[in-house]
Amino acid sequence: MSDPKAKTGAGVKHMKWWGWGEEGVAFHHEDKPGFAPFVDFAIGIDLWKEPQSVAAFSSISVPKSQASAAFVKQFSAIVGAENATTDDESRVVHTFGKSVRDLIRVRAGDFPRTPDIVLYPADEAEVKQIVDAAVAANAVIIPFGGGSNIVGSLEPLANEKRTVISLDLGRLNQVLEIDEGSGLARIQAGAQGPDLEEQLVAKGWTLGHFPDSFTHSTLGGWVATRSSGMQSDKFGDIADIARGMRVVRPDGILVLRPIPSASTGPNVREMIVGSEGRLGVITEVTVRVHRKPEKREIIAYLFPNWQAGLAAMHEISESDATPSITRVSDWGETKMSFATSKESKGVSAAVTKGFGVFLEKIKGWDTERMCLSFIGYEGGNGLVSRNQKLVGAIVKRHGGVKVGKGPGVLYDQKKFDTPYLRDFLLDRGGAADVSETSAPWSKLQGVYDGAFAAAQKAYDEIGVKGWIMAHLSHSYHDGACLYFTFAFEHNDQPLAQYDIVKSAIQQSFIDSGATISHHHGVGLEHAPWLEKDISASGVAVMQGLFDATDPLGTFNPGKVIAAPGVDQGNSGSALHAPAATAAPAKAARTAPAKKAAATKAAAAKTPTRVGAAK
């Protein structure tokens, strides 16, 4: 299995072509005694069976680049020959993101369309030359950051006839300037999370933006998808953090100065945030930064049930407390968290057992329904102490108990490792992915109940044992984000099954008065529900913006909403990966024929996924 890091522009590193993260890094369960029993309980997969191995890249058939020799020569002259490639593996790395749909397709060699050339510009001037030349050639540009997207924002449209450029901004990775008097930093858009944070911390600052994808995503990608980080309660979402921008467009450089507030008509900055590359190429962002806090702690709490945890988070949002993280998992996600823990021994095991007895015998809890919460505190010692006191009183009022710093330290250390679980389960015949949303506080319980009911109905329809769990995070004055994880053991039609479950959950959000996405974006995956979310008139306004600013459909066409005149394809949700490569080659894991028939019948009822390949 080759490593795509050797097939990139100068100094640019990418994730492995077939999964999340770095080569040689993976999730292991052997030192976590509770994990295999939990997975068997949740979705019926025996983790001790031999996993399916990923095929060698050489065995995969990749469509030939459609870039002509003259085209390659022209663009290589802009960035340098070493920073322009039509190499198969580089083009595959730049074709998809990292959703379960993406991973199933890439492992199966399902490439209806790949980029024809990958370019690595060194600076904004080279980006401008590329944009001008691409417009003149009527080519397509898809901006690429870290490749972590999970809603189909990166893949070329299946029926795109024009030459497709994947414009990788990985060489634009520097913190350019820090305005210490204003707490603002100019940072190039291709800087990945660890790199930009390292540069800021070296000068005593932090961005404070830590999404799950932090280790493999970029500042430009965060802006383009309207990202949220784990500490958004204190630092805000990326829409709050990003104050100024530079965006390369055919008519010049769109420059937005970092003004604190202005009354200058509709907010152009807000148009760029969440635009998923459709309005141009973001090359630089000026962001709010903060001095490294004197103290930072994450404390774990337990609540007797989900309703108590939800009510506590709501009260915290209305209180004078200013925590950086307010997160509570439901009972299912709590069980998984405990299942991923290493075995306790000696005094630690005795304490853990004693605490469980205390909760059951003294507090009267049903520990099968208890919910784990992490709340973060940052700032001076006095502020942290005051916030912990305010939050502690609220937790107590809702029947919760403080666990302490230990679990919080582990959470902080492992918070970016969760995506590796997606690969781990795929290797063993399981499909797992996420859907996230937000809604007002008054609707959150209904949204939660609706998603669970919809997922269970979908599992029954396709005849599988499935699992869904959730946590609340990103609290606001008027509501919060709910983040759902779902999983099931797939048969030989994993994508058709996935679409049924994913569609059911997304539709439940609309039915419950929630949004189709809080921070992952729209892409191709969520586009079928956009009109139901923002209204037909809202879509018309957005379409008018895209038509007026990009009449040729140069920039990432078809994402968010369909680009006029571009054939999106109509293959929709019934995607079928070849059984030999997409599912474990074991008869025991092949669903009965009646389950496959149910999958096909149910697939016809799901919304069409715009732009999907046949």
3-state SS class at 438 = strand
For the domain made up of 4-23+49-168, give the CATH fold. Answer: 3.30.43
Residue-wise pLDDT for 223-250, tens only, equals 999 999 999 999 999 999 999 999 999 9
Owner of token pair 């983790």:
47
Its pTM stands at 0.89
> Over the chain, what is the mean pLDDT?
89
The reported pLDDT for the residue numbered 10 is 55
CATH class of 295-403: alpha beta
Cβ burial of 175 (10 Å; 0-12, 13-18, 19+) is: buried
Q: Domain ranges in the chain? A: 4-23+49-168, 175-291, 295-403, 420-603
Provide the pairing of β-strand 290-291 with 252-256.
unpaired
**Is 614's pLDDT higher than 70?**
no
Please say if 459 is a catalytic residue: no
Cα angle 99, 27, 432 (rounded to 5 degrees) comes to: 30
Q: Which of 301, 377, 483, 498 is catalytic?
A: 483
The reported pLDDT for the residue numbered 345 is 58
Select the more confidently predicted residue: 158 or 608. Answer: 158
CATH of domain 175-291: 3.30.465.10
Residue 4's alpha-carbon distances to 23, 51, 215, 466, in angstroms, are 9, 23, 17, 34
Q: How many Å apart are CA 598 and CA 523, to the nearest integer?
A: 28
Q: What percent of the chain has pLDDT over 70?
A: 88
The token pair that represents 549 in the structure block: 């600013």
**Is 163's pLDDT higher than 50?**
yes
Residue-wise pLDDT for 458-509, tens only, equals 999 999 999 999 999 999 999 999 999 999 999 989 999 999 999 999 999 9
b/e map of 199-215 (b: 16 or more CB within 10 Å)? bbeeeebbbbbbbbbbb
Assign residue 21 a region: left if phi > 0, alpha if psi is -120 to 50, beta otherwise? Answer: left
331-339 helix and 35-43 helix, angle to the nearest 10 degrees: 140
Neighbours of 324 (CB within 10 A): 24
Close Cβ partners of 104 (under 8 Å, ≥ 6 residues apart): 110, 426, 431, 494, 495, 498, 577, 582
The reported pLDDT for the residue numbered 210 is 95
CB 299 within 8 A of CB 404: yes
**Is 267's pLDDT higher than 60?**
yes
CB 79 within 8 A of CB 126: yes
Residue-wise pLDDT for 283-326, tens only, equals 999 999 999 999 999 999 999 999 999 999 999 999 999 999 99
Residue-wise pLDDT for 352-411, tens only, equals 667 777 788 888 898 899 999 999 999 999 999 999 999 999 999 999 999 999 888 878
For the domain made up of 420-603, give the CATH fold. Answer: GMP Synthetase; Chain A, domain 3 (3.30.300)
Close Cβ partners of 185 (under 8 Å, ≥ 6 residues apart): 175, 176, 177, 178, 179, 200, 205, 207, 286, 287, 289
DSSP E strand stretches across 164-308: 164-168, 175-179, 184-188, 205-206, 242-249, 252-256, 281-288, 290-291, 295-303
Q: Which helix (H) or strand (E) holds 119?
A: strand 117-119
The reported pLDDT for the residue numbered 344 is 65
Q: How many Å apart are CA 302 and CA 15, to the nearest integer?
A: 36
**Is 521's pLDDT higher than 80?**
yes
